[in-house]
Structure 1
Amino acid sequence: MEATISKQGEQDEIQWKQLWSLAALYGSVVIGWIAYQRYQPKLLVQFEFTDFTFLLIAVQGIILTITPMIAGRIGDRYRFERGNRLPIISAGISFAAMIFMAVAFTLLGNPGEIFKWILPVLIVLWLMAMSIFTSPALSTIESFMPVEKLPRAMAILTIVGNLLYALEPVIVDIIDFLGAPATFITGGVVVFVSGYALKKNAAASLLKSDNKDAVANKIDSQPSQYGFILLMGIALGVATSCLFNVFPSIMDAKLADVLKGNNGGIISVGILIISALLSLPFSTLVTNYGLMRSFWISFILVLLSLAGILFLQSPLAVLLMTAIFAIGFTALSVSSLPLAIGKANYYQKVFCVGVFFAGVEGVEAIMDIFQGL
């Protein structure tokens, strides 16, 4: 009896070691994206590939939209056929680390006219590698805690991601100091080490969660709500894309009397910091209020605040709408992925996480394409 109670108690607790390993891997992905966004334009200029900029943007958008779903489908297949989704995560991480290193050594070798064409190929492969493991890795979050505590886990990931993006100017300065080759070598090492830590710490939990016998005996008649899951990803994608791509220029224009100089980006950084600070308290509110209601309320707040920021002219009104956006963005970040996981059939969990991130990345891809026209 005591053993049963103890076992049940373990199932009701968050497995913090595994969660922090996942957060570290997520952090390495964020840093990798910051490095990519910093050096991709520079490398295109350095190696005279500027004519291919729009093509690369389009290819990037296609890869980031489609690959998460493909990786999710493969991840689910590994869950059932091999009893573990870790192989697809490990393969993606190893591939990404290898591409990091390949780019670094290509740059160190100062490639000539022929070998410089390796660089755009490596960039495309790197995008694929990062997409291959991100969705399956983040799908593991539901294996480390009971469903009702997923918002708290998402709060941890939100804090890590938002603080790193808020520190982007500092990270960029470090990247510039290191230089491209050292940056890509460091990125490869960081991704590999954080991936290894997740594999080591999460292996037992995932084997238990993905056990073939347990899966075979589990009945889940709930159909996956693909359309709604995609909508949730699009909702988060709209909020995130506007925060990073639209806010700085709008704030420069509408808050010129408040912000001296071109400092609209400060608002985006402030929202990220506020969101990080609010994430844990909001995770409790989301849990108590319910994921579905929290998602719809936060989505409506984001849409209304975005409309206010775009169309209102008063600096005070714009700042008020920005504060409302920060609240809605935080609640959306904490509630959307847990709700997406909850709306997925047990046998399609990883694929549905891929559908979610396809929605997130699809919005970003469309916005990048329009900006590149």
Structure 2
Amino acid sequence: MKTHSSSRSQLSIRWMGVAALASLYGAFTLAWVNYRIHLPGLLTQFQFSADVAPQLLLIETLLAISLEPLMGKISDRMAQQQGTRLPLISLGVVLASAVFMAIPVWAIFVSPSSAGQWGLLGLLIGWAIVMSIFRSPSVALLRQSASTPNLPLAASGLTFAAGIAGAAAPLAKQFILDLGVAVTFTAAAILLLATAAAVRFFAPAAPERPRASSTSDSLSRLCLIFFTGLAVTLGFRLAIDTFPKILKAQLPQVNAALLVGVIFWRSRWRLFRQARLQRDRAIGRSCGWASWEPPDFWA
């Protein structure tokens, strides 16, 4: 009994902390969904070609790839010195929300002159930069809410929340367009602030002290994570952007947006289920039940 209870304590999850992080991750994804949907309209309003949108998104993606590891390193140093990453997360969320609300204000009150065009581009790229400030530090907070064996399950909660928000792109695109830039951007900014406040409220009181690791070990793992993430991102973009167009061309009677949304939700649910089963297997083995397999109630 003692072994069982000690194993449970070692494999514990602070569910409120994980839920707060998942809500912030979902709000982050929803903000990007709104941004991608309204970006072509914003650019054409300021007399840019609609073809500029993919190029701008590529630039912002490259900026995120460059800045997020840097922000993660800064947050690690802050956690070592101050025992918390929350100031950097709060700064990033406040700046991102302010710039996100400034974009529709600029679109409404500024004329599409040369200065207006450059100002809009500055706001769009600036928002992508400040969004990179808090994403990796907020994900790093997961270690404070879940033990190492439980990290896959806790991380799947974040992925599931992002999947629900990401499915809004194919399912609710027209609804988001009908609401307009001002409403959707302001709502997304408020949601970011609210979820960041929840993360701060439910953050564990104990200070965080990141452990040092081998440089060569870390570099090889980072390379593996980078290429895995790159492959997953390319697959995601193919599924969200290209697959619906091909499906609509081949089978016009099929609701491609609904089908992609359902597939996306289902894949995220399966990921959560697999992480739960993996956690239950870890509990069984830590209690000495080497051959024990948990019942699959999550299909």
The TM tier, using the shorter chain, reads: 0.7 to 0.9
Normalising by structure 1, what TM-score? 0.66
Distance 1:208 1:10, change over 3 A: farther
Question: How big is the shift at 1:148?
Answer: 0.9
Aligned to 2:245: 249
Instruction: Check conservation: 2:170, 2:257, Cα contact below 8 A.
Output: no
CA contact (8 A) 1:247 1:265 kept: no
Give 2:22's aligned residue.
23
Residue aligning to 1:208: 207
Q: TM-score, normalised by structure 2?
A: 0.80
- Counterpart of 2:15, as a letter, is W
Query: Which runs of structure 2 are paired with 1:154-173 in the superposition (5 Å)?
Result: 154-169=155-170, 171-173=172-174
- Please, which of 232, 237, 257 is the counterpart of residue 236 of structure 1? 232
Q: Spell out the pairing of 1:257-268 with structure 2 (5 A cutoff).
A: 259-261=251-253, 263-268=255-260
Give the one of 261, 271, 275 matched to 1:269: 261
1:5-50 CA-to-partner distances (Å, cap 9, x unmatched) read 9998655321011111111111111110111011111011010122
Distance 1:268 1:174, change over 3 A: closer
* TM superposition shift of 1:219: 6.0
Contact 1:64–1:128 (CA<8 Å) still a contact in 2? yes
Q: Which amino acid aligns with 1:103?
A: I
State the SS of the aligned residue for 1:14: coil
The aligned counterpart of 2:102 is: 102
**Aligned counterpart, 1:47:** 46
For the 8 Å contact 1:251–1:267, the answer to whether it is kept is no
- Which residue of the partner structure matches residue 36 of structure 1? 35
Cα contact 1:11–1:145 (8 A) shared by 2 = no
Query: 1:103 Cα deviation (Å)?
Result: 1.1
**What residue number does 2:63 align with?**
63
Q: Percent identity?
A: 27
Distance 2:57 2:212 in 1: 42
SS for the counterpart of 1:162 is helix
Higher helix share: 1
Greater alpha carbon shift after TM alignment, 145-154 vs 224-233: 224-233
The question of whether the paired residues in 1 share the 8 Å contact of 2:80 and 2:208 is answered with no
What residue is the counterpart of 2:148 in the other structure?
147
Whether contact under 8 Å (2:170, 2:240) holds in the other structure is no
Q: Look up the equivalent residue of 2:72 and give its one-letter code.
A: G
Aligned residues: 275
8 Å contact kept, 2:76–2:85: yes
Partner of 1:72: 72
| Residue in 2 that maps onto 1:87 | 87
Match of 1:311 in 2: none
Query: Equivalents in 2 of 1:250, 1:172: separation in Å?
Result: 18
Structure 1 residues without counterparts, runs of 5 or longer: 291-373
The alpha carbon displacement at 1:69 in A equals 1.2
Local SS of the residue matching 2:141: helix
In structure 2, give the amino acid aligned to 1:249: K
Alpha carbons of 1:56 and 1:234: their partners in 2 closer, same or farther (altered >3 Å)?
closer
Structure 1 residues 232 and 143 mapped into 2: Cα distance closer, same or farther (>3 Å)? Answer: farther
The 1-side partners of 2:214 and 2:57 are apart by 40
Distance 1:129 1:191 in 2: 13
**AA matched with 2:25:** Y
Task: Note the aligned Cα RMSD (angstroms).
Answer: 2.9
Cα displacement string for residues 209-262 of structure 1 (whole angstroms, at most 9, x for unaligned residues): 23xxxx5xx564572122222232223223322222332234345xx3xx4436
Deviation digits for residues 27-82 of structure 1 (CA, Å, limit 9, x no counterpart):
11111011101111101101012275465244223212211111112111211222
The 1-side partners of 2:128 and 2:194 are apart by 19
Q: Extract unaligned runs of 5+ from structure 2.
A: 283-299
Distance 1:37 1:53, change over 3 A: closer
Quick one: distance in 2 between partners of 1:41 and 1:88? 31
Return 52-61 or 128-137, whichever deviates more. Answer: 52-61
- Change in CA separation of 1:128 and 1:53 when aligned onto 2, cut-off 3 Å: same
Contact 2:34-2:176 within 8 A present in 1 as well = yes
Q: 2:273 is aligned with what amino acid?
A: P
- The answer as to whether partners of 1:93 and 1:192 remain within 8 angstroms in 2 is yes
Matched, 1:282 2:282: no
CA distance in 2, matches of 1:65, 1:72: 11
Deviation per residue, 1:287-326 (Å, 9 max, x gap): 4789xxxxxxxxxxxxxxxxxxxxxxxxxxxxxxxxxxxx
Within 5 Å, which residues of 2 pair with 1:304-319? none
Residues 199 and 240 of structure 1: CA distance in aligned 2, closer, same or farther (over 3 Å): same
Change (3 A) 1:236 1:288: farther
State the AA in 2 paired with 1:240: F
